[in-house]
Structures are given as structure tokens and as C-alpha cells.
Amino acid sequence: MRTNDEPAPAEERPSDPPRPRMTRTRLGIFVATSVVYAAIVVGVLTTSWPVRFDWQVMLFRPYKQWPAIHTFLDYFVVLGQRGPTAVAVAAWLGWCAYKRRTLRPLLVLGTALLLLNATVGAAKIGMGRLGPHYATEIGSNEMFAGGDIFPSGHTANAVVTWGVLAYLATTPRARRIASVSAALLALGVGMTTVYLGTHWMSDVTLGWTAGLLVLLALPWFEPLMARAETWLLTAWERIRERRAALAPVVATAPVGLWGPRAPGDDRAPVREPVGAASRSGRARRADRPHTPRSERTPVTPSGSRRPPQRTAPPVPATGRGRAVG
């Protein structure tokens, strides 16, 4: 038993391992998996033994053989649904990225999901296979009929999303545990879709293969992810520097209604409350004599509006008398 004072074994100490590279072993596994992928597709296209096995499992109807576990598997299959699993894994990897001060976990997850959507989505749409519940003819491969189930998206997503945790593990022990857990989850999700009758067995097999190909191809994208991380961190530092440079200017240059004061000018405008200002205004108006409105001269820009006063004309002299001098 190890005490708290003893150092942890080398395999248990978290570290930041170097980014994986595409080694010969990994490249060989990638090529072998690609061959299996192609063989499954050819077998379904030619309506050979994979299609016959698909129909045997479908006609067996597993959901009717073991109905007691149907409700549980309805919830369990969500572990392969892209939305919930991506959110859960992204939240965990976001915390890991914050603790390690690196964006690599989130970039790896984003790259893996982009590759998954591009490859699996294109295959689904391109081959257009119908599922068991929509099959039209017994023994048919149901290809190019407008479907979108080949390969199984739930299965491939379970392989990629949970497999990313093993890909990013920092110790050999954590990598082994994450790899076994991801494999069991992907196996369970794939077989659950067969039990529920939403996928053929060949759909699930191709889904496992497609997900594994995405994980094996990730080392090819490590240099691109490293450049993206450097660019994002540099951009963030520039934003922080700009904000830090602008902060003192805003703090030391307040401009009010009276403009900035000169250095050494201690005179400050006296601000009175609204009530005091109104009272002082009334006092000043009370000191001035009040002029009746009738005596005020209205003034306009063109002058006074009061008409000029007219004087009475002189009275002409008559013949009855003389004017007094």
C-alpha cells in the first residue's frame, strides 16, 4: 500500500505526452481496416452472405425474443446518439483543457467529429440503404432506395466520441481503461440497434469500421491542430493586450459636461440639488421688480410688434376767428 508521502508510479503520474504520429503499426492497422470496410460494402452490394445474415437476424426479431430489456435498451442506445454524447464529452474535455492550459483536447474532439460527419454522412447518403423496418423484399440488400442507415451512425459515433477519451489519455493505465470502456460502449450500442430492429448487422459492422478509421486517421491532422492552437492562443493574447492597453485611457480621461480640468485647477463646479436650485432661482426672481404683462414690449427678431402711436392732425383755421399767437 502506498502512502501519501511516496511518489506515484510513473504510469499514474499525469503528463502531457507528445502528439501521436502515424507510425508504421498504426498505418498498417489503418490499411487493414480499410480493406475490411471495402469488403463489407462489396458484400452488401453483391447481396452475398452479409445480406443473408442480415435477414436471418431480422426475421429472428430479437426485440420479441427478449421484450423485458426493451425499455432499458431504449435509454442505453442514447450513449451512441451524437448530440448528448458530444455535449458530455466536450464538457469533460473543456475542463481538462482549462486545467492543462491547452486547447488540444477540444481541437481533437472537433476534428474527429468533423471527419465522422463527412465520411459517415457521405456514405449514408451515397448508398441510401433502407432499414429493416422499411424493407420491401425479403433477401434484398435494400441499397439505393433513399435510406440513410448504412453505415450505422450510432455505432460509429460511439466508437469516435468515447474513443477520443482513450486517444487523449495521458497515462498508459488511463489509456487502457478508456480503450476497453469505449470498445464495450460501442459494442453495446451497435448490438442494441440490431436488437431494436433499426439497423442491419452489416450496418453495425460497417459503423465499427468507419469509427475506427476516423480514430486511426487523427495523427495525420495533429500538425494542423497544433497550428490552429497556436493561432488561437496568439489571437487571444492580442485581444487581451489591446484590452489592457485601452483600460488606462478610459480610466484616466473622464470627460464631463465641463470638459477635462487643467492640472492644479482645484476649482470644481458647485452642484446643488434640484430643490436648492429651484429655491435660489425663486429668490433671485423675487429681488427683481415685477413688470406687468401689459407694459412689456414684445420683441421679435424683426423688432417690436406694437404698432406705432399716431398723433392727432392739426385743426385747420376757420373764418370765424383767428389763431391766438
pLDDT value, residue 20: 80
Span 46-72, mean pLDDT?
93
Residue 87 has pLDDT above 90, yes or no: yes
pLDDT value, residue 218: 94
Span 200-225, mean pLDDT?
95
pLDDT value, residue 221: 94
- What cell was used for 253? 480621461
Residue 243 has pLDDT above 90, yes or no: no
Model-level pTM greater than 0.75?
no
pLDDT tens, position by position, 253-264 = 554 444 455 555
pLDDT value, residue 86: 92
Which residue did the predictor score with more confidence, 116 or 240? 116
pLDDT tens, position by position, 171-196 = 889 999 999 999 999 999 999 999 99
Residue 166 has pLDDT above 50, yes or no: yes
Distances (CA, A) of 174 to 11, 81, 120, 157, 215: 9, 24, 28, 21, 17
Cα(263)–Cα(153) distance, integer angstroms = 71
Q: What is the mean pLDDT of the chain?
A: 80
Residue 323 has pLDDT above 80, yes or no: no
- Chain centroid to Cα 97, Å, comes to 16
8 Å CB contact between 216 and 33 = yes
